[in-house]
């Protein structure tokens, strides 16, 4: 009868594997990919300890190292691709949230961008969900004020799409590339947005930067 020799599993190998698996979530939450560094370190240390102390877990350590390396490298590349897919090439990304929250200087900061091709992130504000929209108001809020109250025109930019283009309303955040201009209607209507994004194209906001979360918090940026 063959004797079975039990070798305890290296805890560092298990830790490396867990960190490697966690790295996969970096494709959704990019900052998590930083755990790839300790994932590789624990994996290498585990292989050394396994050899020196005759422990088990060699395959776990190898898998942990591989997952950490693959997703540690893949995540920033994936994020960069998604980030650039949000705006038209050459369009300046503007921190819409930061500007709007600067109540004292928000108008002058937007006025300085008039005539420039910019990208803003936010949410479409609609009181009726039409299938094909040629224009719509956009803010950094997820929904309009509701209950008979009026949205603050200081927090809204009117989006006007390219001629012949339409956009189907969606609840999710969007990134809009267009040319910023003053709204001539604002001179006679105090409730009209003061700025327009003309000749705009709408893209899905694929990264979380610059968006308010449903709970009301956010970092700002585009």
Residues in contact with 21: Cβ distance below 8 Å, sequence separation at least 6, in sequence order: 67
pLDDT of residue 135: 93
Closest CA to 95 of 58, 105, 85: 105
Specify the length of the chain in residues: 222
For 175, the enclosing helix (H) or strand (E) is: strand 174-182
C-alpha to C-alpha distances, 40 to 28, 51, 52, 57, 63, nearest whole angstrom: 21, 17, 19, 15, 10
**71 and 20 Cβ atoms separated by less than 8 Å:** yes
pLDDT of residue 61: 97
pLDDT surpasses 80 at 97: yes
Q: Report how far residue 162's alpha carbon sits from residue 199's, in angstroms, rounded to the nearest whole number.
A: 4
Q: Report how far residue 103's alpha carbon sits from residue 172's, in angstroms, rounded to the nearest whole number.
A: 26
pLDDT in tens, 151-207: 788 889 999 999 899 998 888 899 999 999 999 999 999 999 999 999 999 999 988
Q: Report how far residue 194's alpha carbon sits from residue 182's, in angstroms, rounded to the nearest whole number.
A: 6
- Predicted confidence band of residue 129 (pLDDT cuts 50, 70, 90): low
Q: Report how far residue 205's alpha carbon sits from residue 209's, in angstroms, rounded to the nearest whole number.
A: 9
Residue in the structure block whose two tokens are 């008039």: 114
Beta bridge partners of 95: none
Please give the structure tokens belonging to residue 140.
């950094």
Domain boundaries 92-204, CATH class: mainly beta
pLDDT of residue 219: 41
Q: What pTM does this model have?
A: 0.79
For 38, the enclosing helix (H) or strand (E) is: helix 36-53
pLDDT surpasses 90 at 101: no
Q: Report how far residue 103's alpha carbon sits from residue 73's, in angstroms, rounded to the nearest whole number.
A: 40
pLDDT surpasses 60 at 216: no
């Amino acid at each position: 009868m063959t004797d079975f020799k039990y070798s305890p599993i290296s805890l560092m190998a298990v830790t490396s594997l867990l960190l490697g698996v966690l790295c996969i979530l970096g494709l959704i939450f990019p900052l998590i990919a930083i755990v790839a560094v300790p994932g590789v370190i624990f994996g290498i240390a585990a292989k050394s300890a396994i050899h020196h102390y005759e422990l088990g877990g060699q395959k776990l350590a190898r898998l942990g190292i591989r997952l950490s390396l693959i997703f540690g490298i893949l995540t920033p590349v994936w994020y960069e691709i998604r980030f650039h897919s949000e705006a038209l090439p050459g369009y300046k990304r503007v921190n819409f949230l930061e500007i709007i929250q600067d109540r004292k200087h928000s108008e002058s900061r937007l006025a300085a961008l008039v005539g420039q091709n910019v990208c803003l992130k936010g949410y479409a504000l609609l009181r009726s969900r039409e299938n094909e929209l040629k224009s719509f108001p956009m803010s950094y809020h997820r929904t309009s004020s509701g209950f008979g109250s009026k949205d603050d025109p200081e927090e809204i930019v009117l989006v006007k799409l390219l001629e012949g283009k339409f956009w189907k309303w969606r609840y999710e955040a969007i990134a809009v590339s267009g040319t910023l201009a003053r709204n001539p209607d604002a001179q006679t209507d105090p409730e009209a947005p003061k700025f327009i994004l003309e000749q705009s194209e709408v893209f899905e906001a694929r990264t979380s930067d610059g968006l308010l979360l449903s709970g009301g918090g956010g970092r700002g940026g585009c």
